């Protein structure tokens, strides 16, 4: 085969991993031409069901395909049926879930219906981040028995190349979005009050968002009150290009002339 033909050959995508059954999942099991073996059952905390002819069978942790094979093998090796055809349908997913909390449009507990459910999938299921939400998503849980915590920048997640940050969500993970940071502007401005701290917000931009100075306001009278690391309030006279930080209070004094 020529190099040109090889380069033009289609690339096969890797198949998506199957969902694995977990405790609390409700399944419907049917055996072709054997209606007496039809069963709807919830997996126990140990991941087991009680199946006719076979008794207790552990299906927890198996994919649907693997679970079907376990039942086929049991019916065959027990000489109950010849060439049985078993079908399993997951009716309710309860064994693998994640909590979506904080400033989402639809926070709640969501089932992980695919083995490779990713962060972006959960964000979409929860209706996206609410208008008052921050730009950072925090994921906590367990990985290999160890505590896990990761912060993911939301705009970067959906930017080109953001797939590398699209974490696979695991059972028991919590996904949290805090409120958007706020700054406060008051004094001689047209629209005083709290203001959303957008990324890279400068003093000049904040004043513009507040409608600008009133006729009595003066740039020389602008002060920023900021809490230091030790909890003390520091007052400074910033430049218009200085970046504001969360919790900053911008005060515009009245001109004396």
CATH of the domain at 238: 3.10.560.10
| CATH code of the domain covering residue 48 | 3.30.1950.10
On whether residue 8 sits in a domain, the answer given is no
Last residue of a domain, one of 144, 179, 214: 179
Indicate if 133 and 147 belong to the same structural domain.
yes
Considering the domain architecture, whether residues 102 and 175 belong to the same structural domain is answered as yes
Is the domain of 186 the same as that of 174? no
In a domain, residue 44? The reply is yes
User: Among 159, 179, 199, where does a domain finish?
Assistant: 179
Could you tell me which residue, 8 or 118, shows the higher pLDDT? 118
What mean pLDDT comes out for the span 87-98? 87
Please write the tens of the pLDDT for every residue from 165-198: 899 998 889 999 999 999 999 999 999 999 989 8
Judge whether 234 lies within some domain: yes
**pLDDT above 70 as % of the chain:** 93
164 and 205: one domain? no
Residue 11 lies in a domain: no
Kindly report the average pLDDT of the chain as a whole number: 88
> Do residues 80 and 43 share a domain?
yes
CA 156 to chain centre: 14
Same structural domain, 72 and 138: no
Its domain, for residue 84, covers 26-92
Same domain, 217 and 144: no
Counting the structural domains of the chain, the total is: 3
Give the residue from 92, 114, 139 where a domain finishes: 92
Q: Same domain, yes or no, for 175 and 186?
A: no
Q: What number is the average pLDDT over the span 137-152? A: 92
Long-range contacts of residues 28-35, Cβ cutoff 8 Å, at least 24 apart: 28/88, 28/89, 28/91, 29/71, 29/86, 29/87, 29/88, 30/86, 30/87, 30/89, 31/71, 31/75, 31/81, 31/84, 31/85, 31/86, 31/87, 32/84, 32/85, 32/86, 32/87, 34/81, 34/84
Does 109 reside within a domain?
Answer: yes
Q: Would residue 247 count as lying in a domain?
A: yes
Q: Do residue 174 and residue 187 come from a single domain?
A: no
**What pTM, to 2 d.p., does this model score?**
0.63
Does 108 reside within a domain?
yes
How do residues 216-257 score in pLDDT, each as one tens digit?
Answer: 988 888 999 999 888 899 999 999 999 999 999 999 998 876
Residue 173 shares a structural domain with residue 230: no
Q: What pLDDT does residue 12 have?
A: 41
Please tell me the distance from the alpha carbon of residue 102 to that of residue 166, in angstroms, as a whole number: 19
- The answer to whether residue 110 is domain-embedded is yes
């Amino acid at each position: 085969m020529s190099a040109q033909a090889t380069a033009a050959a289609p690339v096969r995508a890797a198949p998506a991993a199957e969902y694995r059954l977990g405790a609390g999942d409700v399944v419907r099991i049917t055996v072709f031409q054997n209606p007496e073996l039809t069963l709807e059952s919830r997996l126990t905390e140990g991941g087991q069901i009680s199946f006719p002819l076979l008794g207790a069978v552990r299906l927890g942790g198996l994919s649907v395909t693997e679970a079907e094979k376990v039942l086929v093998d049991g019916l065959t090796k027990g000489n109950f049926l010849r060439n049985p055809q078993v079908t399993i349908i997951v009716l309710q997913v309860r064994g693998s879930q994640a909590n979506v909390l904080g400033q989402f449009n639809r926070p709640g507990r969501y089932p992980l219906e695919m083995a490779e459910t990713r962060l972006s999938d959960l964000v979409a299921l929860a209706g996206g981040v609410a208008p008052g939400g921050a730009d950072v998503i925090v994921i906590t849980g367990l990985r290999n028995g160890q505590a896990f915590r990761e912060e993911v920048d939301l705009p970067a997640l959906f930017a080109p190349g953001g797939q590398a940050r699209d974490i696979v969500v695991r059972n028991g993970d919590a996904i949290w979005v805090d409120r958007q940071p706020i700054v406060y502007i008051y004094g001689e401005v047209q629209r005083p009050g709290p203001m959303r701290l957008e990324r890279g917000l400068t003093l000049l931009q904040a004043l513009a968002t507040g409608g600008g100075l009133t006729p009595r306001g003066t740039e020389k009278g602008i002060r920023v009150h900021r809490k230091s690391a030790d909890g003390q309030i520091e007052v400074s006279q910033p430049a218009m290009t200085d970046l504001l930080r969360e919790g900053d209070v911008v005060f515009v004094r009245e001109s004396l002339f």
